[in-house]
Amino acid sequence: MTMKNIFSSFILIQILWLSSPDKSIFAGVANVNVYLHGHVYNSITGGLIAGQPVLINANLIHYSAIKLTNSNGQYQDTILNVPVGIPITVSVFDCNDSLYVQIFYSSDASVEVNFSICALNSCKALFTSKLDSNNLVQNTFIFTDGSEGHPDHWVWSFGDGFVSHDQHPMHSYKNSGHYNVCLTVLKKDLSGEILCADSSCSEIETPSYHNLGGLVFAGLYPINNPTSTGDTGVAYLYRLQNSKIVPLDTISFTYLGYYAFLHLLQGPYIVKIGLKKGSTHYSDFLPVYSGDQLKWQTVSPVTIAGSSSFTNDIHLFQTTTSPGDGSIGGYVSHREKGPLMKDTEVILYNESVEPVSFTVSDESGRFDFIGLAYGKYYLYPEITGKFAQIREVLIDEGSPVVGGIVLEVSDLNYTGIGQWNENDQNEIVQIFPNPFSDDLHIHISSAVAGRISLDLVNLTGMKIYSAKYITNRNSTNFTIPLSDIPKGLYFMTLRSDDGTIISLRKIIKN
């Protein structure tokens, strides 16, 4: 039974009762307010039916109304100034369009009229709310509709005078406090008639926010404090959430060397600070994390709990390189994804693994250290939340310039100094010759047979070659025809049938 049919039947019921009565018949009869309420039950499940239309008629006084049961299957109505003793009908249609009618007579007593029927198309408004903890806008909540009955219209009331008709809205509250959020859902047929409707409300409370800040020292004094040093600081804020490091905000600061992040939720944070390129002392100090650490893995997070923290001071690490005629250069790449990495910090350590300098890779992913004294050095690409290996480099009179080094960062945790030992899933991969000029040969030793895919990308991340192969148990050999590709550096990735990386290699075409 559609809402349109219910309205038609409602009118018919009114006609069947007495119409246009002579009001004089009520002369001398006391008037009362009629309080009516009840529930509609599902006769099959015993549960309560939400969104069920309930028809109420008092034809002798020309009163009629339709009430929808709420999420608890309840309806209610109040009829004012009703003569005592007149008939009032309450009726509902069930899933078979059968009409159920109950009649009572008006009095000042509260009346309960319940029904048990097979359910019409019913809706049940349900929703969840979640604070968007990674949003820089305070008091921002994400509301997710979970209503039953496949409604197709939503009306959200956020309790602060704002509404939304989106199914899954986001809303920010300007003021802190408690808010009563209500969702009304409707389902309509093709003609626009309402098939079912329901509402549900829930109270939410905005959280408390705090601030995090401190002084940034470059040597004995904070930058630009007590006098200007010509430096601009850059601070990066990360939030630790579900074992992940989530970048939240980046700010620049100059005044008295003080940085501040405002309106933060309770929880653990990581702060990293360096000098902005172009600052007077940019090359003299390495960027550091909270606790004066150079690598994010060794940081002890700053925890905001119940109050602000204004003394999270940070001391930049001073560079100490010795001048000479040597130089080191290369590229930073992503191990799993292939493309070169721009704006990546590369830390230079001396033979004692003490940090002495840093640089940042350019737009092409290239980095360079020049004017170095001869000796042994170590290189490390530092990206918050990524993993890498330290790479050993030796420069001397015989090899004063070392170039073409590729430093790899990864989403996966692997450690050590030197080359990655590619021995995974009982597979050993040999690629030869490397460098090559024409064809490339691959030998795979495997404990099991299977299928693998091969992808070859250039330094820009463009895929140059792709193929699939069947591997045999024990060993497999195949040749890749690459005589037509340009000379240069490439990255080759071999993956198993489930997408697991078996091998990632740098190859060079001469």
Rounded-to-integer distance, Cα 501 and Cα 452, Å: 10
The DSSP secondary structure of 123-141, one letter per residue, reads -B--EEEEE-TT-SSTTEE
Q: Where are the beta strands (DSSP E) in 189-266?
A: 194-205, 210-218, 221-222, 233-241, 244-253, 258-264
Please answer whether residues 468 and 499 qualify as being in contact, where contact means their C-beta atoms are separated by less than 8 angstroms.
Answer: no
Rounded-to-integer distance, Cα 342 and Cα 409, Å: 12
Rounded-to-integer distance, Cα 110 and Cα 91, Å: 18
Please answer whether residues 212 and 264 qualify as being in contact, where contact means their C-beta atoms are separated by less than 8 angstroms.
Answer: yes
> What's the pLDDT score for residue 418?
36
Handedness of CA 335, 337, 340, 341 (dihedral sign): negative
> What's the pLDDT score for residue 461?
67
> What's the pLDDT score for residue 348?
95
Please answer whether residues 439 and 479 qualify as being in contact, where contact means their C-beta atoms are separated by less than 8 angstroms.
Answer: yes
The DSSP secondary structure of 352-375, one letter per residue, reads TS-EEEEEE--TTSEEEEEEEPSE
For residue 443, what are the contacts with CB-CB under 8 A and spacing of at least 6?
Answer: 429, 430, 432, 475, 476, 477
Rounded-to-integer distance, Cα 207 and Cα 306, Å: 11
> What's the pLDDT score for residue 250?
96
How do the domains of the chain map onto residue ranges?
3-117, 127-205, 212-317, 320-410, 423-509
Please answer whether residues 213 and 263 qualify as being in contact, where contact means their C-beta atoms are separated by less than 8 angstroms.
Answer: no
What 3-state class would DSSP assign to 146? coil
Rounded-to-integer distance, Cα 297 and Cα 360, Å: 20
212-317 CATH fold = Immunoglobulin-like (2.60.40)
Please answer whether residues 250 and 236 qualify as being in contact, where contact means their C-beta atoms are separated by less than 8 angstroms.
Answer: yes
The CA distances from residue 168 to 146, 199, 202, 363, in Å, are: 9, 16, 16, 39
Bridge-based pairing of strands 170-172 and 163-164 is unpaired
Burial of 127 (0-12, 13-18, 19+ CB in 10 A): buried
> What's the pLDDT score for residue 49?
85
| DSSP element (H, E) containing 8 | helix 3-16
CA-nearest of 48, 134, 34 to 88 is 34
User: Are the folds of 127-205 and 423-509 the same?
Assistant: yes
Please answer whether residues 177 and 206 qualify as being in contact, where contact means their C-beta atoms are separated by less than 8 angstroms.
Answer: yes
The torsion region of residue 192 among left (phi > 0), alpha (psi -120 to 50) and beta comes to left
Report the 3 state secondary structure along 166-187.
CCCCEEECCCCCEEEEEEEEEE
3-117 CATH fold = Immunoglobulin-like (2.60.40)
CA-nearest of 251, 248, 245 to 216 is 251
What 3-state class would DSSP assign to 237? strand
Number of residues that this document lists for the chain: 510
Domain 423-509, CATH: 2.60.40.2550
Rounded-to-integer distance, Cα 356 and Cα 333, Å: 23
Please count the other Cβ atoms lying within 10 Å of the Cβ belonging to residue 24: 7
Sheet holding 463-471, edge to edge: 463-471, 450-457, 488-496, 501-509
Please answer whether residues 160 and 179 qualify as being in contact, where contact means their C-beta atoms are separated by less than 8 angstroms.
Answer: yes
320-410 CATH fold = Immunoglobulin-like (2.60.40)
The CA distances from residue 264 to 215, 242, 377, in Å, are: 18, 17, 40
Class of domain 127-205 (CATH, top level): mainly beta
What is the maximum span of the chain, computed from C-alpha positions, in angstroms? 122
Please answer whether residues 115 and 92 qualify as being in contact, where contact means their C-beta atoms are separated by less than 8 angstroms.
Answer: yes
Q: Enter the tokens of residue 493.
A: 């990735």
What 3-state class would DSSP assign to 435? coil
Tens of pLDDT along the chain (510 residues) come to 454 455 455 444 444 444 444 555 677 789 999 999 999 998 877 888 887 889 999 989 989 999 998 888 899 999 999 999 999 999 998 877 789 999 999 999 999 999 999 876 678 899 999 999 888 899 999 999 999 888 999 999 999 999 999 999 999 999 999 999 999 999 887 777 777 888 999 999 999 999 999 999 999 999 999 999 999 999 999 998 877 899 999 999 999 999 999 999 999 999 999 999 999 999 999 999 988 899 998 888 999 988 998 999 999 999 998 899 999 999 999 877 767 889 999 999 998 889 999 999 999 899 999 999 999 999 999 999 988 888 899 999 999 999 888 898 988 765 433 333 333 333 467 788 888 888 888 887 765 677 888 888 876 667 888 888 888 766 788 888 888 898 888 888 888 776 666 777 778 888
> What's the pLDDT score for residue 440?
87
> What's the pLDDT score for residue 24?
57
The rounded Cα 405 to chain-centroid distance in angstroms is 36
